[in-house]
Amino acid sequence: MELLGGRGVPLWHAERDLAGVDAVILPGGFSYGDYLRCGAIARFAPIMEEVVRFAAAGGPVVGICNGFQILCEAGLLPGALIRNRSLRFICRVVHVRVESSRSPLTEGVAVGEVLEIPIKHGEGQFVAGEEDLARIEGEGLVVFRYCGPDGTVDDEHNPNGSAHAIAGVRNEAGNVVGLMPHPEHAVDPDLGPTGGQPLLASLLQHALARV
Amino acid sequence: MPEEPLHRALGLTDDELERIRAILGREPNRNELAMFSVMWSEHCSYKSSKVHLRTLPTEGPGVLVGPGQDAGVVDVGDGLAVAFKMESHSHPSAIEPYQGAATGVGGIIRDVISMGARPIALLDPLYFGPLTEERNRWLLEGVVAGIGGYGNCIGVPTVGGEVKFAPPHTTNPTINVMCVGIAPVERLVTAARTVHEGSYLVLFGAATGRDGIGGVSVLASRTLEEGAEESRPSVQIGDPFAGKLLLEACMELAERGLLEGLQDLGGAGLTCATSESAARARMGAEIDLETVPLRAPDLEPFEILTSESQERMLAIVAPEHLEEVRAVCARWGLASAVLGRMVAGDRLRVRMGDVVVADVPARSLADEGPVYHRPLEEPGWLAALREDDPTFTTVTVEPLEAFRAVLGSPNVASKRWVWEQYDHLVQGNTLAGPGGDAALVRVPGTMKALALATDAKGRFGYLDPYLGAAHAVAEAARNVAMTGARPVAITNCLNFGNPERPEVMWQFAESVRGMGDACRALGTPVTGGNVSFYNESAGSAIWPTATIGMLGLLEDHRLAVRTAFRPGCVVYLLGETRPELGGSEFAEVVLGRVSGRPPVLDLERERALHRLVAESARRGLLCSAHDCSDGGLAVALAESAIAGGVGFAVSVAGDLPWYVALFSESASRAVVSVEPARATELEDLCGAHGVPCARLGETGGPRLVFDGLFELGVDEATAIHEEALPKLLAG
């Protein structure tokens, strides 16, 4: 975020103070080791009560990887994430297609745009019940889908077996968004692809517009 | 049947018991015997290897900490220091691959933390038996999952390593792991820190349980025989989240300057940490085992003293900092316990409440273990094997067929299946991850990058242990040099069979000599390492495997050179190809022979190549550079083409037979490419550095064209290279 002009403020899991931030990012990692189900313990972290309140008030909330899993566990986002189809951890650069501009990450990004961003997860297979899935698709809650370099969505370019190749979703209100790929690993051109830049730039714009 | 005496059951010899009696002036009690048995184990005391290791070059301009502490430390400028170390976790991994490998990662990370450095990279050199055997597939899958399981979770990127296969590793997989960390020089926690009388010994992290008791003496210092599965309780269990908390707590303690000493509890547990801390400070220590937080209530003193429960650290803390240290631990959710204090004298006195349960000189455990000059003898079978040179056999296969076989052989094929299971991106400093010659990790806050590579040459080592180790140093340095970096220093892990057998001890001595000579010639001192003996079963040892971990430094990461070809460049081979197929991939895969002599190694030529590539990189001259080693020139060219998705047309044969030109593994060579306009500049530079160079052809197009021999599509070559390992693993 700081490369793009924002300021990161670390928030401590055991506290209940959001320190007046303009947007909340739940980053990736292995919260509490993820020995149970990913994010299942973290949703009970004291800070999460404040995050839920912040989201309910319309504040922008982004969950990346483990953060996405936590948002699903907390009921802020639909669906769930289970083990990859291969049953193995995967660290790889993939392509995702932007499916909705109604999220803090994609407001400034055109639908249909293809971004190159790494994934790195063992439990990234997005699943939802049949009805839920129909609702997610029907209401346009899918924000990102895995795809080929040219935007084609097919099984070959679905790295983890996610339902409908879903890589990220938002809530109905459009202020909470979660995704498995790591936009923060795709900002600095020295380190590889920069598909995360437009997403995080959009988040900054979104947060600034609310101030 | 008479019961085996306790000291022997613990792995001590009768002579060693006599020495202990002499040191104490009395009969050791059960606890003391347990302490000596773990500290005097081969794993902890280096009793068989010490006399050889003393010959290694350990000093150099940048070396801040050499062998003997938890990790070696090198000054990289800008007020920063790099701590790095390699270890083996082969025996535990052979029994329980996931936990064995995972705890190996945890252990090496704590070694780096102990120096006050933040771990920024892991590399995993792994050697297994052939994947045609189901058990080897199970081992590989478990080990890789375990490395990922720990490394990914604790948030340290796994940026490199290697995976190779050889029949002797079927019963004895060799699992090495290297960790690299970074710290401001003034924050380092080294033995140079002053420890005060009365300072506290604070144990923090996980509680102590019964896991891993006698790991160093039972598992690591004996061969694994039938029924080794019964040793499974001696394998520790890893908890990467606890490891993460420990890491962050240690970083905070070091940053705040609250520590006089810091040591991890790994092999030999509390006995090792307390005796080494005391010996290093030239003091004694008094501890009370009743203060140790236990996982099981009924642990006996000897169990508490030798448990290898993971995720524990020991800090030496001045009284005025004790409260703050405990508060930092508490904030990270870690239990801490004050075990006792540093005292004048040299005794390590251990109490259980009011009862003294052990009272021994700390140095006698840590520094004064036995030293053995074990007999050496060149194996009788070696001379004939070396004379059986595959270089001049009649080759009946077609060139394309041979190329396919070598490119798709498990040793050469892409290891993507392995490294995609490792998070190589976390921390956001990975400029180049696995799959190239060396990994490049940005030094935070600078333009510098660390270039990191690991190499072992088991097949060469089998045929000539001296050359095997020397080639491993040369190749690791070359890999680092290919990025434009300067090789700086090494760490290592020496993996061998049973040192009580003269032929194994000869292999070891020769390897150490080869490693030492190569390090002296290339200017890369040895900052530390680890010896793993007893890698054999039923009298059959692994090939001598001297694994080298090389640290290189690139002053400006924007000048880094990569492996991949791009179109429109001129391709050169630097160095000279000689008829050297002894111990080559071609000889094993195509001719079915592991025999002959390994290639000659001229270390002056090697160093000239490194200097040439570094100078070329500084001038921004190179489009690509790639080390030419396993599989020879054909594989080096193919890998650069595959990495770039760009073909080439080259003429390679010259006066040599095609199979020598394509597959000889002559040392000190590289494949580089340059813009046509700068080709002459490169040729001139080669002349100035005395490096032979041959113009092979041009890059471009969708095919790999070996003029007059064969050609195939880049996509086809990619498929051979990428699909070999997944296919084998699918059974």
CATH of the domain at B90: 3.30.1330.10
Q: What is the pLDDT of residues B235-293, one digit of tens each?
A: 778 899 999 999 999 999 999 999 999 999 988 899 999 999 999 999 999 999 999 99
Please give the angle made by the CA atoms of B362, B366 and B368, to the nearest 5 degrees: 95
State whether B167 and B236 are in the same domain: no
Residue B718 lies in a domain: yes
A29 touching B, CB under 8 A? yes
Does pLDDT of B229 surpass 60? no
Set out the domains of chain A in order of their start, with CATH numbers. 24-209 (3.40.50.880)
Among B324, B342, B366, identify where a domain stops: B366
Does pLDDT of B653 surpass 80? no
Distance CA B180, CA B545 (A): 21
Is A4 within 8 Å of A41 (Cβ atoms)? no
pLDDT at position B68: 86
What chain B residue is nearest to A14 in terms of C-alpha separation?
B331
- Choose the mutation target among A4, A87, A89 for the interface with B, i.e. most B CBs under 10 Å: A89
Q: List CB contacts (< 8 A) between B420 and chain A.
A: 88-92
Does pLDDT of A42 surpass 90? no
State whether B501 and B629 are in the same domain: no
Among B332, B348, B366, identify where a domain stops: B366
Does pLDDT of B216 surpass 70? no
Residue B570 lies in a domain: yes
pLDDT at position B684: 98
Does pLDDT of B699 surpass 60? yes
- Please name the residues between 553 and 582 in chain B that touch chain A, using a CB distance below 8 Å: 557-558
Cβ contact, residue pair B241, A90, below 8 Å: no
ipTM over 0.85: yes
Structural domain tally of chain B? 3
pLDDT at position B537: 86
Report which DSSP code applies to B257.
Answer: T
State whether B101 and B167 are in the same domain: yes
What mean pLDDT is predicted for residues B322-350?
Answer: 97
pTM comes to 0.95
Query: Among B646, B469, B460, which residue's Cα sits nearest to residue B566?
Result: B646
Q: List CB contacts (< 8 A) between A35 and chain B.
A: 241
Residue B1 lies in a domain: no
State whether B204 and B299 are in the same domain: yes
What mean pLDDT is predicted for residues B627-654?
Answer: 96
Q: Is B424 a catalytic residue?
A: no
Q: What is the pLDDT of residues B45-57, one digit of tens each?
A: 999 999 999 999 9
pLDDT at position B230: 58
What mean pLDDT is predicted for residues B398-403?
Answer: 98
- Beta-strand pair B622-627/B670-674: antiparallel
Q: List CB contacts (< 8 A) between B428 and chain A.
A: 184-185, 188, 191
Q: What is the pLDDT of residues A71-122, one digit of tens each?
A: 999 999 999 999 999 999 999 999 999 999 999 999 989 999 999 999 999 9
pLDDT at position B446: 94
Question: CA end-to-end span of chain B, whole Å?
Answer: 46
Query: Among B490, B551, B500, B556, which residue's Cα sits nearest to residue B525?
Result: B490
What mean pLDDT is predicted for residues B58-71?
Answer: 92
State whether B200 and B343 are in the same domain: yes
Q: How far is A138 from chain B (nearest CA, A)?
A: 35
Among B349, B366, B383, identify where a domain stops: B366
Residue B394 lies in a domain: no
- Beta-strand pair A142-147/A166-170: antiparallel
Would you list the DSSP string of B624-692?
EEEE--TTHHHHHHHHHHHHHT--EEE---TTS-HHHHHH---SS-EEEEE-GGGHHHHHHHHHHHT--
What chain B residue is nearest to A86 in terms of C-alpha separation?
B421
Q: How far is B420 from chain A (nearest CA, A)?
A: 5
Query: Among A49, A87, A41, A85, which residue's Cα sits nearest to residue A66?
Result: A41
Distance CA B658, CA A118 (A): 42
pLDDT at position B233: 58
State whether B104 and B233 are in the same domain: no
- Which structural domain range is residue B142 located in? 60-187+423-521+528-550
Comparing A133-137, B306-310, B372-376, B407-411, the range with the smallest average pLDDT is B306-310
- Please name the residues between 133 and 172 in chain A that touch chain B, using a CB distance below 8 Å: none
User: Which residues have a Cβ under 8 Å from the Cβ of B214 and sit 6 or more positions away?
Assistant: B10, B11, B37, B38, B234, B306
Q: What is the pLDDT of residues B74-108, one digit of tens each?
A: 999 999 999 999 999 999 999 999 999 999 999 99
Is B276 within 8 Å of B143 (Cβ atoms)? no
pLDDT at position B387: 94
The one-letter amino acid at A57: A
Hunting for tokens 């490169």 — which residue is that? Answer: B682
Of B421, B422, B425, the CB nearest to A118: B425
Query: Among A106, A8, A16, which residue's Cα sits nearest to residue A53?
Result: A16
Hunting for tokens 């100035």 — which residue is that? Answer: B688
Residue B53 lies in a domain: no
Residue B381 lies in a domain: no
Cβ contact, residue pair B244, A30, below 8 Å: yes
State whether B575 and B711 are in the same domain: yes
What percent of chain B has pLDDT above 70? 97
- Choose the mutation target among B137, B156, B245, B420 for the interface with A, i.e. most A CBs under 10 Å: B420
What mean pLDDT is predicted for residues B468-486?
Answer: 98
State whether B706 and B660 are in the same domain: yes
pLDDT at position A41: 86
Distance CA B206, CA B188 (A): 24
Does pLDDT of B232 surpass 80? no
Q: Cβ–Cβ contacts within 10 Å for residue B375, how many?
A: 11
Mean per-residue pLDDT over chain B, rounded:
94
State whether B354 and B216 are in the same domain: yes
Residue B195 lies in a domain: yes
Q: How far is A120 from chain B (nearest CA, A)?
A: 6
Q: What is the pLDDT of residues A109-167, one digit of tens each?
A: 999 999 999 999 999 999 999 999 999 999 999 999 999 999 999 999 999 999 999 99
Cβ contact, residue pair A35, B241, below 8 Å: yes
The one-letter amino acid at B419: W
Phi, psi for residue A28 in degrees, rounded to 5: -75, 180
Distance CA A98, CA A153 (A): 12
pLDDT at position B225: 58
Report which DSSP code applies to B167.
Answer: G
B448 touching A, CB under 8 A? no
State whether B591 and B672 are in the same domain: yes
- Beta-strand pair B347-352/B439-442: unpaired
Residue B409 lies in a domain: no
What mean pLDDT is predicted for residues B587-593?
Answer: 96
- Beta-strand pair B63-65/B72-77: antiparallel
Q: How far is B624 from chain A (nearest CA, A)?
A: 17
Does pLDDT of B202 surpass 70? yes
State whether B588 and B691 are in the same domain: yes
State how far the alpha carbon of B419 is from the alpha carbons of B123, B404, B422, in Å.
Answer: 10, 23, 5
pLDDT at position A59: 95
Report which DSSP code applies to B593.
Answer: -
- pLDDT category at B615 given cuts 50, 70, 90 is very high
State whether B683 and B596 are in the same domain: yes
Q: How far is A108 from chain B (nearest CA, A)?
A: 25
Q: In angstroms, how far is CA B291 from the centroid of its own chain?
A: 36
- pLDDT category at B470 given cuts 50, 70, 90 is very high
Distance CA B674, CA B519 (A): 30
CA torsion through residues B43, B308, B189, B316, sign: negative
The SS3 call for residue A206 is helix
CATH assignment at residue B605:
3.90.650.10
